[in-house]
Structure 1
Amino acid sequence: MTDPRPAFRLVSPTASREIALLATIVVVGAAFSLASPYFLTVSNLVQTLRAGLELAIVSGGMTLVIIMGGIDVSVGGILAVSAIIIGKAYQAGLPAFAVAPIGLFAGTVLGAFNGVLTAKLKVPPIVATLGSMYVFSAIMFLVIGGAWIAGLPGTLSPLVNGTVGFVPASALVILAVYLACWVVLRRLPFGRHIYAIGCNEQSARLVGINVDRTKIATYAILGFLAGLAALLYVARMRNVEINIGTSIAFEAIAATILGGTSIRGGVGSLLGTLLGVVFIRIMQNGLVLVGISSLWETVIIGGLLVIVLTADALASRNNPRSL
């Protein structure tokens, strides 16, 4: 059996995608800086970083799931339900040290639920998580009744809005999450199992990998990170909106694929995913600053996804994967 971790080679198979994406970010950033004098200001860049915190965290977990050959379109619903539980816990008078584990636990359980659907019940990931998305969205509307949860305490706000020296705390949180995901993928047997399942699930079973347990655990990790994103969202906004999480699944999948993770599984890049998050957020911020409709952001990102997925499909025909 060949190495189930193609991303571990000296030259990563995603390196060209990462370089191309970095070059695109530089070009787009230069264009926006010429079009708006506010784009390259420190305050704008820091605000963009903070606004991208939840997407960056969720995208790290999405990378693990897609490398494994799965997908989760319900992650926005997981974030929303976790945020509601956090908001209700705050309203019940619980302190932050009690609220935080409740939100993280809720996200983990919902993520594991998706894992059980795909691993134990053999429901295709896109179908399972699409169904979950509607269930989680219904729960959200039933609990909050179409009204915001507002006036929540800002106890954890320093994790989002604070600084450590001259470094925004948000950047340190993102660094910690991606370092943890890197350790999982590169330093633990569990990471090798994720890659092996993404390359060829049947071969992974034949060599003794517990595929079902790995799938459930990987979806649970994504759920945990969605719960963390919900906790930090509440800390940043101090309320829970009725439309929370509606676009984060699309954005996380887009950031992951644009960054070089193959939708077929088996190949992925956390660095590429982070670059994908940066690209999406500077596009959103830059378009607002120059007065262009945000609909163009969706057009641009969707168009790039079509190009990338088409290129991957053509490459897979010329280089069929075998184990």
Structure 2
Amino acid sequence: MALTETVTPVWTQRLLHAKREVVLLAAIVLIGGFFAVSSPYFLTLDNLTTTLRNSVDLAVISAGMTLVIISGAIDVSVGGVLAVSAIFIGRGFQWGLPAPVIVLLGLAVGTALGTVNGAVVAKAKVPPIIATLGTMYVFLAVLFLVIGGEWISGLPDTLSPLVSGNLLGLPVPLYLIAGVYGVCYLLLRHHAFGRHLYAIGSNENSARLAGIAVDRVKIQVYALLGFLAATGALIYVARLRNVEVNIGTTIALEAIAAVILGGANIRGGVGSLLGALLGVLFIKMIQNGLVLIGVSSLWETVVIGGLLIVVLTADALKHGGPQRAQ
């Protein structure tokens, strides 16, 4: 089967994606209106700017998660990748390394861990959710072994401009998000790598018959997600200037929820970067709004998990059966 035949269904479903994005945008407007009425602080410039600065790490990781889900895979270990990368970033400061070396160290660690995930999935043929669930526990074990159950705190503000800085009158996080999503868009729409991701997610066997190096592409997309998780770690350290023992525990759920809410199909072959970004906005708006109206933060995960279940159930009913095995 030719590659063009494999990926054609992706383009015929763009109208469906647009509908999901429009629905999500409408939900953002409606729920945002509710929070604006419920709290006088919701629409203030300070609150909106703070929400943006708190969203950048999730937005960056969600871009990479979109690519992974398009390929028909998933990564529940991304929080562990972020955590281990953050550890090395924190230790780098404690060791007195120059800032550029610390940045490269963190990015290298995240990329390496992502590559490990990809190799386990592609070469060992372990189903993605099982593989990354296993590596998640390994990464969390590394977290506790390295920091011994204690925080790495009191880090310098060297990286702070990544989240608190402004450039040409706009917050630096806007440039970070635009850069990451711009590059991912080019990869998906104007590079063979993106076409291969859609082809693999639509029908892996057909992709192999079309001559695509499926294993290599899987490893590459996991490595890219690892790189972006490490970028999220840099942003996390820049914002909080410490590394907590429970770092990254919810970000995988939030990233997956953002991507699925944005129109991606958990079976693969379908995904939208714009939808994922709207999903991030939706999740962060709910988190911020619940805090402002005095609802316990414990309900944030309940709401996000509940939304994810509803969307996945609706998708399963629409496609008439259980998800395909990976």
- Please report the TM-score for the alignment, with normalisation by the length of structure 1: 0.96
Partner Cα distance (2:9, 2:183) in 1:
20
* Cα 1:263–1:11 shift into 2, 3 Å: closer
1:21 aligns with 2:24: yes
- Select which of 298, 315, 319 maps to 1:316: 319
Paired with 1:144 and 1:87, the residues of 2 have a C-alpha distance of 10
Matched with 2:58 is 55
Q: Which segments of 5 or more consecutive residues in structure 2 lack a partner in the other structure?
A: none
* Shift, 1:176, TM fit: 0.5
- What is the alpha-carbon distance in structure 2 between the residues aligned to residue 6 and residue 236 of structure 1? 42
Confirm or deny: 8 A CA contact 2:82 2:229 kept in the other structure. yes
Q: Which residue of 1 aligns with 2:119?
A: 116
- Rate the CA distance shift 1:83–1:132 in 2: closer, same or farther, 3 A: same
1:101 aligns with 2:111: no
Cα distance 1:10–1:206, how it changes in 2: closer, same or farther (>3 A)? closer
Distance 1:91 1:290, change over 3 A: same
Report the identity percentage.
Answer: 62
TM-superposed CA distance for 1:297, in Å, is 2.5
Partners of 1:7 and 1:13 within 8 A in 2 = no
Change (3 A) 1:10 1:117: closer
Aligned twin of 1:199: 202
CA distance in 2, matches of 1:220, 1:77: 14
The alpha-carbon deviation at position 215 of structure 1 amounts to: 0.2
The within-5 A match list for 1:274-285 is 274-285=277-288
**Matches of 1:126 and 1:192 in 2, distance apart?**
23
Q: Note the C-alpha offset of 1:165.
A: 2.4
Q: Flag as ranges the 4+ runs of structure 1 deviating above 6 A.
A: none
1:236, distance to aligned residue in structure 2 (A): 1.4
Question: Structure 1: how far apart are the matches of 2:309 and 2:97?
Answer: 46
For the residues of structure 1 that align with 2:221 and 2:318, how far apart are their CA atoms? 27
CA distance in 2: counterparts of 1:119 and 1:18, whole angstroms: 31
RMSD: 1.6
SS at match of 1:317: coil
CA shift, 1:300, in A, is 2.4
* Offset at residue 53 of structure 1 (A): 1.0
Secondary structure, aligned partner of 1:208 = coil
2:264 pairs with 1:261: yes
Listed as ranges, the gaps of 5+ residues in structure 1 are none
Amino acid at match of 1:245: G
AA at the equivalent of 1:162:
G
Which residue in 2 is equivalent to 1:245?
248
In the TM superposition, residue 167 of structure 1 has moved relative to its aligned partner by 1.1
Work out whether residues 7 and 14 of structure 1, in 8 Å CA contact, stay in contact via their aligned partners in 2.
no
How far did 1:294 drift?
2.3
Counterpart of 2:94 in structure 1 is: 91
Q: Is the 8 A contact 1:161 1:168 kept in 2?
A: yes
Q: 1:303 deviation in Å? A: 2.2
Q: Distance in 2 between matches of 1:265 and 1:114?
A: 18
Q: 2:73 and 2:137 mapped to 1: Cα distance?
A: 18
- The residue identity in structure 2 corresponding to 1:209 is I
**d(CA) in 2 for partners of 1:281 and 1:50?**
11
Equivalent residue runs for 1:62-73 within 5 Å: 62-73=65-76
Q: Which moved more, 1:1-10 or 1:190-199?
A: 1-10
Structure 1 residue 310: deviation in Å? 1.6
Equivalent-residue separation in structure 2 for 1:5 and 1:162 (angstroms): 43
Equivalent position to 1:173, from 173, 176, 184: 176
| Letter of the structure 1 residue corresponding to residue 255 of structure 2 | A
